[in-house]
Amino acid sequence: MNLNLPSIPSFGQTAAEAARHRQNRLTKPTGALGRLETLSIQLASITGRPRPRFKNKAVILMAADHGVASEGVSAYPPEVTAQMVLNFQRGGAAINVLARQAGAQVSVVDIGVNYDFDNLPGIVHRKIARGTANLRRQPAMTHAQAEQAVQTGLEVVEDHIREGVDLIATGEMGIGNTTPAAAITAVMTGKPVEAVTGRGTGLDEVGLARKIEVISAAIALHRPDPTDALDVLAKVGGFEIGGLAGVMIGAAARRVPVVVDGFISGAAALIAAGLKPEIKPYLIASHLSQEIGHRAVWEALGLQPLLDLDLRLGEGTGAVLAFHLIEAAVRILDEMATFDEAGVSDRA
């Protein structure tokens, strides 16, 4: 497979200028709504619409298993991945609750779970393999599988956009996936492994030390090239991480904003930006999680998260919470009266 990435359109400067002009004419002191104002202008730039609105929100949640889980890098057993996918399918997880509150659909994609879902409805069946290989011992996937993961994300997001989805949050599920996320972050940012590796699902000190050793050994063994994002993905990544990278690139190509969730989604953003650096302005950083590597991700991408709630669940929960701020930002821009419309005197 030869991965054919779509081109990313230039930022909508005309729409941005129109949005900025309207913000400066709304009945408030200029800049009084702070980052809600800059967020609305960014959304105008992304969509190319001076007064953007979003009617069809979706969470694209990629699920996959990880061979490295056998190294004891997670506090939970690997079978929890499949069990949680079934929980998503039934609507019983945190992301389902928060998505319902935000008026968003949850689209669960089996891109690599070690379980046979038998074409169960409510799941997008795009399995590449039944989990990655153990990255401590061998590359997580082949180069062809890395390409396939990104391509799957491109195709899944295109299907959603064709159906009318106009705002996307990234989500994921995969026991052990903070390990490849930390490995990717260390390689792509140049930070020491111990500076970007956290406790994941709740490891104790011994477990954390083991996790750092596993990641360090994997990087030393495979020597992933930080200038080649596909090489990094193949050697120390995960199927859901590659899939989400494809989602981000595909959405940016169609001028659809992507709200990036937690640490694993952040690692996917590093892969996506490595493949297509011009997507960075199309990404919205939802929140800063408890995972210590998350800050390094946002710094590397030049993004500032909207929320800081000590989250560490994943699933897209932080991204969906950010939907409410996005909705507030675009409603202010679109619905608030200008000084002229309201007959209110502007500053002297």
Q: Which residues are catalytic?
A: 315
Helical (H) or strand (E) element with 56: none
First to last CA, the chain: 63
3-state secondary structure 280-316: HHHEEECECCCCCHHHHHHHHHCCCCCECCCCCCCCC
DSSP 198-236: --TTT--HHHHHHHHHHHHHHHHHH---TT-HHHHHHHH
Cα 172 from Cα 261, distance rounded (Å): 9
| Cβ contact 238:177 at 8 Å | yes
What's the Rg (C-alpha) of the chain? 20
φ, ψ for residue 35, nearest 5 deg = -70, -15
Residues 6+ apart with CB under 8 A from 325: 36, 39, 306, 307
Strand order in the sheet with 283-285: 123-125, 104-112, 57-64, 167-173, 258-260, 283-285
Q: What share of the chain is helix, strand, coil (3-state, %, to 5)?
A: 50, 10, 40
